[in-house]
Structures are given as structure tokens and as C-alpha cells.
Amino acid sequence: MSIRVDGFSFSYGSAHVLDDVCLAPCRPGEVLGLVGPNAAGKSTFLKCVAGLLRAEGQIWLEGVAVNSREQWRQLRRQVTYLPQEYASTAAITVFEAVLVARQQTASWVVGDDDVEAVATILDELRLEPIALRYLSELSGGQRQMVAVAQALAREPKVLLLDEPTSSLDLQRQLELLQLVRSLAAERSMTVLIALHDLNLAARFADRLVILDRGRSYADGSPGDVLTEMMLWQVYGIEARVERDADHVPRITPIRSVRDRACQPGERALAGASA
């Protein structure tokens, strides 16, 4: 399902969080990475897309503007949002938790297909060994993986993931993002994923949107938007950007800089002439 956003603005009281943020159409099967510093507005943007917060502006699904109450209900049925923190410790097992999530978008009658689908998801996420354990017995990383399993079990048309790798070790991060990318292609699912790790975002996202202080700084391929200039202006760091054998950008941070007005290289030139 294609999704597009025009001019999203949102405030928490007097605190302006999003300012005229636009999102060019995201196509089925596409993985779009949402990146930016802390407090750039990534989580708020995803909540607005999910319909959990009502932003000023316009959202489009399959080229149709979402305006009426019924259209917003339809959006919530087809869009699944996974928040950054998953705190459920309900007295149910991992298998039951994922099955309940699937039933929220399917029939209330549990069939063999539902049980098989849950088993497949747990296997793909390597959660089979803990399928019969209670949520309260799990570590933070395990609960985060269960939350991902619940989101995938709903078989959404649009999947919104807010920092799904924050509690995972490196191996789990790679496995999860590889799975999300492959499922997006297999299911023609549109995925918007907020990430802090720019190197992971560069490798697994087809497109990146960079938010800076609530505004869109850039929207394009990782190779186009991950530049040394952007890292200086948005993140306030000096870094080296190289391309690996697959032509994927690879960022090596060098140092933090507080004066973003000075361009990369200008400071070095100034120091050389002093």
C-alpha cells in the first residue's frame, strides 16, 4: 500500500515538534528509514502516520486522501505501529501473545492457519525456544522481539517500527532488519522504520528521510543523503563517509563539533592558516 504525507505539523502544547514535514510516496515493498538526532520528531511523526496523534496536514493511502472518520478507521486497520518501548508483562505465553495480536485483525475463531502462521513467525524470528515462556520471564530484548512478532502477525499493509533494534545485540539487529526487508518484498508491505544507527539504516533502507529539529532535511537514497556535510549540519559531528564493495555508505565518526555554521574543512583550513 502506498502512503504519502503532505505538510505534517504537530505540537505538544506550546512545544512545536513537527513543522511542515512531507513524505514523498512510499511504494509497496519499500523500506524507508527515518533518521535524525534525538528530539528530531521521529517518534511523533510515526504516531501521526499511525493516526494515534492528529497532525495538521494530509496523509494519503493509495492516492486517496484520508479525511473522514471511516477513512481514519480504515487506516488504523491497515497500519500497524510498534512503539519504541514494549512493557507488557501479561500472564500469557509468547505464543499466546502473538496469536492474540493476530486475532485482532482476523476472525475471533482460531484456525489451523492462524496457529501455523504464528509458528512460522516465531521460527523466522528465532523465538521458538521461548514460545511457551511467560512474557514476565523475558529480558528486554526478548520482549522487543515478541513485539515485532506481534506486529508481523497482524499482516499489515503498512508497518511502522520505532527503534525496533534498541535493546538487541548486533546479531539480532542484523537478523531482524534482514527479515523485515525480505518480508516487505514478499508481502508488498510498506515499512517505515526509525533508526539511530546510520550504518544500519544505510544498509537496510531503500530510502532515507532525515529529520532535523522537526523539519525535513533530506529525502533520498542512502548514498545521496548520507554525506559529510549532512552529518556536520544535522548531527554536529565530523565524520568520514566511504562506500563499501556494495556501494553502501559507511560512516566513521571522527569528533563532535558544536559550531555547525562552520563547514567541514573550513575549520581545518582555519587551523592551518593560524
What mean pLDDT is predicted for residues 80-84?
A: 89
Instruction: Measure CA 133 to chain center.
Output: 28
The answer for residues whose C-beta is within 8 angstroms of residue 214's C-beta and 6 or more apart is: 16, 17, 18, 19, 21, 40, 41
Reduced to 3 states (helix: H, G, I; strand: E, B; else coil), residue 10 is: strand
Output DSSP code: residue 54. -
What are the residues facing 35 on neighbouring strands? 210
- Cell numbers found for residue 74: 480504515
CA 77 to chain centre: 18
Q: Is the pTM of this model over 0.85?
A: yes
Residue tagged 499511525 (cell numbers): 50
DSSP assignment string, 46-89: HHHHTTSS--EEEEEETTEE--SHHHHHHHHHHEEEE-S-----
Quickly state the pLDDT bin for 87 (edges 50, 70, 90).
low
pLDDT value of residue 266: 58
User: Where in the chain are the domains?
Assistant: 3-226, 227-274
Evaluate whether the domain defined by 3-226 bears CATH number 3.40.50.300.
yes
Bigger pLDDT: 269 vs 174:
174
Q: What is the pLDDT of residue 140?
A: 86
Of 197, 107, 119, 108, which Cα lies nearest the Cα of 152?
119
- pLDDT-based confidence at 238, cuts 50/70/90? very high
Label residue 171 by pLDDT band (50, 70, 90).
very high
Residue with cell 492528529: 54
From the list 134, 128, 163, 131, the residue with the least C-alpha distance to 47 is 163
Average pLDDT over residues 207-234: 95
For residues 50 and 76, the answer to whether their CB atoms sit within 8 Å is yes
* pLDDT single digits (tens) 146-158: 999 999 998 899 9
